[in-house]
Amino acid sequence: MTDTFEAVPNFEEMFANGFTKDDKEYQEYLKHPPESPMMVEEWNSRAGGNLRNRVWYLVITL
């Protein structure tokens, strides 16, 4: 098992150039256009549900 004192310098070496101009994978990611945000239409619609006190709902369910 790797000692903690040995692991920390290894991580610092591995991620020294992360999110910089030297990080090739990050630079490729920056070339893509930004994705549009997810849209959820009428997520709080009151069109359905809450029918328990309606007379016609009671007739249909009987």
Q: What are the mean pLDDT values of the chain's consecutive 10-residue runs (62 residues total)?
A: 73 90 95 89 63 60 56
pLDDT at 17: 92
* Cβ-proximal residues to 17 (8 Å cutoff; 6+ apart), any chain: 23
CB crowding 24-62: b at 16 or more within 10 Å, else e = eeeeeeeeeeeeeeeeeeeeeeeeeeeeeeeeeeeeeee
Domain ranges (residues) in the chain: 1-33
Q: What pTM value is reported for the model?
A: 0.46
pLDDT at 59: 59
Are 23 and 17 in contact by the 8 Å Cβ rule? The answer is yes
pLDDT at 41: 77
